[in-house]
Amino acid sequence: MNPNISPAIILHHTDYGEADRIVTFLTPEHGRLKGFARAARKSRKRFGASLEPCAEVQLHWTARGSGNLVSLRDAELVDLHSGLRRDLETLTLAGYGCELADVLFDESGVGVEVFHLLQAFLNHLDTQGYSVEARLLLEIRMLSVAGYLPHLQHCADCSGPLPKGAVSFSAALDGSLCPDCDAGRATLKIDRMTLGTFGKIMQTPLTSFADFKLSPLSRKEGQLLLSDALRCYLHRPLRSLEFLNRFSPDETS
C-alpha cells in the first residue's frame, strides 16, 4: 500500500491502550483525518513531539483495510509553535481553533482553504499571542469556508436594505433581518456599523491576521453574532469554549 506524505496540523490526540495514540489531523488535500500511532507513547523515537496539538508536521501514513482510521508511519516536525505556550489565553485560543476545525470539517472537500486558514492563525498566535480580533477573524472565516456564513449586510429574507443603527439578527433565521421580515422573531440586535465591519473583513485574504483592530462595540457584538452562528451549526458544544470565554467576560455576557 502506497504511503501518503502530506503537510498536516495536529488537532487533537487521545491515548489508546497501553502505548498507542489516536491522532486527529488536518491536511490540505485530504481534509480532516484520524490516524492510529502505534507505540507513540512508549517510543519517542519515531514521533517525538510531532504529534502534539497545534504542531505543523510532515506526516506519513497508509490507509487501513477498514474504517476511516489511517496508520501513521512517521512524522517530521515542521513547526511546534512553541510561542503558543507563552500564556494560558494564547494556548487556549490555539486549542479552540484546532477544535473548531475538527468539528466543522471532515475528510470530504474544503481541505486547502481551511488548512491555510488554521496554519496562518497558529503562526499569528505563535508570534503575536492572544487577541479577541484573532478569534473573531478565525470564527467568521471558518464559518465562511464551511458554507455557514450568515447574511450580514442585507436582509436574509427579502435581500432588502437594513436600517441604520440596531439591526435584528438571528443565525437560525440566516442572519440580519429588516424590520418587516423580522416581526419580533430575532433574538439579537447588532449595530449596522458592526455588520459592515464584518462584511469588510470578509473581503480581506483568508490568511491575513496582523493589524486588525476592532472597536469595543464591534468586538462585543462580533462575539455575540459569531457565537450565535457557531451554536447553530456545531454538532456538539466545544470543550474549549467555556474556558476561552473567561478571557473576554465583558464581551460574551
Q: Which residue has the cell 494560558?
A: 88
Which among 100, 85, 82 is positioned nearest to 24, based on CA atoms? Answer: 100
Kindly state whether residue 178 participates in binding Zn ion, applying the rule CB under 5 A.
Answer: yes
Pairing mode, if any, of strands 166-170 and 188-191? antiparallel
Q: Residues 147 to 176: which contact Zn ion by CB under 5 A?
A: 155, 157-158, 160
Comparing CB distances to Zn ion, the nearer of 158 and 210 is 158
**Residues 43, 55: contact at Cβ < 8 Å?**
no
CB of 178 to Zn ion, least distance (A): 3
**Residues 240, 96: contact at Cβ < 8 Å?**
yes
Residue 113: CB partners within 8 Å, gap ≥ 6? 145, 206
Comparing CB distances to Zn ion, the nearer of 47 and 169 is 169
**Residues 4, 24: contact at Cβ < 8 Å?**
no
Comparing CB distances to Zn ion, the nearer of 10 and 178 is 178
How many whole angstroms separate alpha carbon 141 and alpha carbon 97?
A: 11
CB of 221 to Zn ion, least distance (A): 20
Count of positions on this chain that bind Zn ion (CB under 5 A): 6
Comparing CB distances to Zn ion, the nearer of 27 and 168 is 168
Interface characters, 38-67, with Zn ion (x: CB under 5 A): ------------------------------
Pairing mode, if any, of strands 166-170 and 31-37? unpaired
CB of 176 to Zn ion, least distance (A): 9
Comparing CB distances to Zn ion, the nearer of 143 and 167 is 167
Q: Which residue ranges make up the site for Zn ion (CB under 5 A)?
A: 155, 157-158, 160, 178, 181
